[in-house]
Structure 1
């Protein structure tokens, strides 16, 4: 599934498919719900094994280093087993299309793994 990388991204071109694969893995294994809040703000609910929060924090921190227009906020939630969290993703208005593409990809990838 193609994903247009914005010009503002400073991640080397050779590394972009690897980063996208990391996000796809996260979307496929952990995303349970995606809630568009506004054109510039989306919320994802994730669940997974212990270590999920650390994985999400690491991935989003690295993404912010190359695409500084993203603001990721991770909020942990109570979970009976494993970990649960909310991931808020915000962008400035000029990057609303990037957020839309990201949430569409998350929805598509996570839907392929849901029963």
Structure 2
């Protein structure tokens, strides 16, 4: 797998990720569950910028911050920003450099698919 390559099982784990391989399916499952529980909308603002509209619950914000921090520690190319647009809505912006657009594409597909399975 080359850097930024998305695996054939639909995951978005590139070689640049330093998370141990054995832990990757668990992290993917955590993201999928988070997407199912919290994502209310998926907006692609540019090739390198994805915005997830989340429910505004405090536990959603806590989980988003925790997942973003853990993901940033193993996949340093991700930039995550979390902000409230109003008391009931939380925005999670995810940005990647041009070399990792395919990873963001896969993340967007997973978020959209999980949202529709809710």
- Relative to the length of structure 1, the TM-score reads 0.90
Q: Is the 8 A contact 2:10 2:106 kept in 1?
A: no
Hey, what does 1:56 align to over in structure 2?
A: 64
Confirm whether residue 97 of structure 1 aligns to residue 102 of structure 2.
Answer: yes
Match of 2:58, SS state, is: coil
Hey, what does 1:111 align to over in structure 2?
A: 116
Closer/same/farther in 2, CA of residues 18 and 77 from structure 1, 3 Å limit? same
**1:53: Cα distance to partner?**
0.7
- Relative to the length of structure 2, the TM-score reads 0.88
Count the aligned residue pairs: 110
**1:4: Cα distance to partner?**
4.2
Gaps of 5+ in 1: none
Q: Which one of the candidate residues 13, 26, 30 is aligned to 1:22? A: 30
Q: Is the 8 A contact 2:82 2:90 kept in 1?
A: yes
